[in-house]
Structure 1
Amino acid sequence: MAKILVIDDEASICSSLQFALEDEYEVKTTTDPWTGVEWLKQESFDLCLLDLKLGEINGIDVLTEIKKWQPDMVVIIMTAYGTISSSVEAIKKGAYSYLTKPLHMEELLTLLKQALHFQHLYRQVAYLRQELENKYRSEGIIGKSPRMRRVFELIDKVKDIETNVLISGESGTGKELVARAIHFSGKRKNQRFEVVNCAAIPDQLLESELFGHEKGAFTGAVSRREGKFQLAQNGTIFLDEIGDMPLHLQAKLLRVLQQREVTPLGANKSIKLNVRVIAATHRDLKKMVEEGTFREDLYFRLNVLEISLPPLRDRRQDLPFLIQHFIQVFNQELGKQIAGVVPDAYECLLNYHYPGNVRELANIVEAAMVICEGDQIQLKDLPEEVRHNHVRLHPGSQSIQSHIEALVGLPVKKVEELLIKATLEKNRGHRKQTAKMLGISERSLRDKLKQYKGRQT
């Protein structure tokens, strides 16, 4: 039942409206406008019937205060014939409509139904838009670490400008989510967001996917097809894994970006474009330019501004927030009520190295929640590779003590070799990360590995 607030300085009108509307609506009335405003601060109303002349108080001032506390509430002004011009002013200030006194009940009831229907649609659209924006702003790119705060700052800076953006980072770090966050928080958010994964589409089909084709343009082209650039008109196109695009298509893409127009395969006429371009890659494009596998001019055209996403292992302080976030997400998807993670399993999650980054963390949490039988994720619920990599690092624990005892009696150099090799294995051969974890330079690590290899031969 909709809730209506009536504010009128004539008690008789308040009583009449209460009597006329209470069968269909929950009605609350007051002759004191500021009492009504106080109610609005404490309760939620769907609609307000507001008198424009409240003794010495101007109803416009009351309307302004109402909109301050409940911006989405529908307000219908009640006014005498002599103040219709003021009613028009009230509509400019946010009122839905106005009724002239004396009120005609049939007209009032009709207007109430229209206004409440409008209110329902307005709230539904606002809710869906907020849900959409929240999803693409936060999911998978949650974090309070300095590097993630920098990512959020850059998203905010570029969301409303036309600058091309290149998003770099390892697989699973959330590059597409950042691209969506830029689009759906910016001025193009009500337009289309088209995605092309340049690594997933065969070379012979990628050109058609990007630029479209006319009927008969090639064998199998039985009908005309619009490309992703045309579909993204006035919106955004996201070119994922741009480093996997073949050289001959890089040249055609460069021309599209320079000319701001596209010519479908088999067409004689070009189509003007108004498209925002965001690209992403897990590859080192600078190195590819040096090797001649990526065009330098295209690289500079795409990389006007770069957003570099850190791997999850370099922002471990974000792990608690991400773990809790994914528990909430999968509670909804799986219909579960898991509250958290027991200490030993939690420590295991914090110590794991996550080669697959945030995507892998999400998969691990989801898998554990599927298996979990209680309201807390247990160590046994985690995948084997996660449990295998778990070593308690706090002093005095049984795990670290047993490892130390196993090393007693060995030469220091041998202990160093075992530690370096174990750390390298933990990082799956990633030397830069291994050196960083051990607190040594990459050159020192390389030299030590050569020594170990020499001793084996």
Structure 2
Amino acid sequence: MEKILIIDDEAAICSSLTFALEDKYIVKSTTDPLQGVMWAKEEKFHLCLLDLKIGNISGIEILMELKNIQKDLLVIIMTAYGTISSSVEAIKKGAYTYLTKPLNKEGIYSIIEQALKYQKLNRQVEYLSQELERKYTYKGMVGKSPLMKNVFNLIEKVKDVDTNVVITGESGAGKELVARAIHFSGKRKMEPFVAVNCAAIPENLLESELFGYKKGAFTGATADQIGKFEYGNNGTIFLDEVADMPLPLQAKLLRVLQLKQVTPLGSNLPVELNIRVIAATNKDLKKLVDGGSFRQDLYFRLNVVEIYTPPLRERPQDLPLLFQYFIQNYSQELNKDIKGLSEEAQNSLLQYHYPGNVRELANIIEYAMLMTEGPCIQLENLPLELQKKSKTVFTYHQNPIDSLVGLTIEEVEKLLIEATLKKNEGQRKKTAQILGVSERGLRNKIAKHKL
């Protein structure tokens, strides 16, 4: 249950506010600002309702002292109509907002609720930022789900060997990121990394692009051209969408891999190769082999180790981390100070199925940040499709337990306690009964998890 401190020189206001709020919050009130400052030094408060003028003492001075003691304390200034200009000054000094007297009960409830949601968001952002830095980011990839941990483990195992690797997965899932992670974390990291999109280069140009050619090899060959294999020698060549390579060229690629040498078009002198090959595809190579559109011998040559990059719908635990990762990146790139997502915006993003995977998510976050003026991305800042999706029933997880897979026991315990407390409106006795623990045990766990 959140703790609120009230400081006002009118005892009647302290009493009425305490009476109005004590059913929902733990409330302490005082007419002595120095007493309020002392309490703030002794215990943790979530929010303070502070009068702008307390006798001869300025509320702004008390505000600054409170913020020095508890940096994340939310302070709401209470002011008379004639001193609104001073309250604006208080906001510049760190106050969350201000309320004008006489106070409206419903208005107080609404503003306190908004303020506490904002505080919770900031704490989530801080926590996620620390977690991203500490253990959930690997060579530009973000994830804590079992599927992504498996990807990271496989990268560690193959990064320093020359074994050929095939990376599979849907478009936008991050296959090239995996390839780059293998190269730039391994023994070849100081050598070239050459990426070739086999689907983007016309069939009649792909051979010369890969293997190079000599002047006069064909009409238009007015100078020698070094191929991608020769250019990437001693490093890594990444053959993206290798399944789209035509069969005749597959045979030539197989020969290059077998002999470890390449002969440019129009030349009789082979170039010796010391190069690592990583291929990627969003298609099922086994089915293509069975259908005759991909050579079986090339498949076995390339696919010594397969790394599967999962789509976002298979790793929902990673979504909050990815949200924060992209918000941090685009905050720097777009020169914006955006902290995170509103609850409604986050819920909408969690419900979405992401057919374009991580690439699509990155585009959505960039768009939302361009549309956002405040410190937090709101639902209305998201693309229209996601705003509409938020009104539909959430069916993303077939089994609710799936959302817990990948979390530690302590993380699950914290979520369970937090959710049960919220359902019981902070009543610890009832919460302890439901969870099957003693009140003292629950109190210890609340302290342990800093709830």
Q: TM exceeds 0.5?
A: yes
Q: Deviations over 1:143-176 (max 9, x none)?
A: 0000000000000000000000000000000000
Q: Which residue of 2 aligns with 1:201?
A: 201
| TM alignment of 1:51-200, pairs within 5 A | 137-139=138-140, 141-200=141-200
**Offset at residue 389 of structure 1 (A):** 2.2
Q: Which residue of 2 aligns with 1:293?
A: 293
SS in 2 for 1:277: strand
**Offset at residue 138 of structure 1 (A):** 3.0
Q: Which residue of 2 aligns with 1:235?
A: 235
Distance 1:137 1:217, change over 3 A: farther
CA distance in 2, matches of 1:197, 1:332: 30
CA distance in 2, matches of 1:340, 1:230: 46
CA distance in 1, matches of 2:318, 2:393: 19
Q: Which residue of 2 aligns with 1:328?
A: 328
- Taking structure 1 as the reference length, the TM-score comes to 0.56
Contact kept? 1:194, 1:228, Cα under 8 Å? yes
Q: Which residue of 1 aligns with 2:302?
A: 302
Distance 1:277 1:304, change over 3 A: same
CA distance in 1, matches of 2:335, 2:214: 47
Contact kept? 2:348, 2:387, Cα under 8 Å? yes
AA in 2 matched with 1:138? K
Aligned residues: 265
CA distance in 2, matches of 1:391, 1:263: 60
| TM alignment of 1:324-403, pairs within 5 A | 324-391=324-391
Contact kept? 2:214, 2:264, Cα under 8 Å? yes
Gapped regions of structure 2 (runs ≥ 5)? 1-134, 401-451
Q: Deviations over 1:379-417 (max 9, x none)?
A: 1110112222224658xxxxxxxxxxxxxxxxxxxxxxx
CA distance in 2, matches of 1:388, 1:205: 45
SS in 2 for 1:374: coil
Matched, 1:213 2:213: yes
CA distance in 2, matches of 1:157, 1:256: 25
| TM alignment of 1:403-414, pairs within 5 A | none
Contact kept? 2:138, 2:152, Cα under 8 Å? no
Contact kept? 1:137, 1:180, Cα under 8 Å? no
Contact kept? 1:137, 1:178, Cα under 8 Å? no
CA distance in 2, matches of 1:166, 1:269: 30
- Taking structure 2 as the reference length, the TM-score comes to 0.57
CA distance in 2, matches of 1:215, 1:180: 33
CA RMSD of aligned residues (A): 1.9
**Offset at residue 278 of structure 1 (A):** 0.3
CA distance in 1, matches of 2:389, 2:211: 46
Q: Deviations over 1:28-77 (max 9, x none)?
A: xxxxxxxxxxxxxxxxxxxxxxxxxxxxxxxxxxxxxxxxxxxxxxxxxx
SS in 2 for 1:278: strand
Q: Which residue of 2 aligns with 1:278?
A: 278
AA in 2 matched with 1:330? Y
Q: Deviations over 1:328-362 (max 9, x none)?
A: 00011101110001100110011100000000000
Point out 4+ residue stretches in structure 1 off by more than 4 angstroms: 391-394, 436-439
AA in 1 matched with 2:202? P
Distance 1:274 1:181, change over 3 A: same
CA distance in 2, matches of 1:384, 1:287: 38
CA distance in 1, matches of 2:241, 2:265: 23
SS in 2 for 1:238: strand
Distance 1:137 1:228, change over 3 A: farther
Identity rate, percent? 62
Matched, 1:256 2:264: no
CA distance in 2, matches of 1:173, 1:230: 29
AA in 2 matched with 1:318? D
Gapped regions of structure 1 (runs ≥ 5)? 1-133, 395-422, 427-435, 440-457
SS in 1 for 2:253: helix
Contact kept? 1:160, 1:186, Cα under 8 Å? yes
AA in 2 matched with 1:355? P
**Offset at residue 218 of structure 1 (A):** 1.0
AA in 2 matched with 1:177? L
**Offset at residue 437 of structure 1 (A):** 4.3
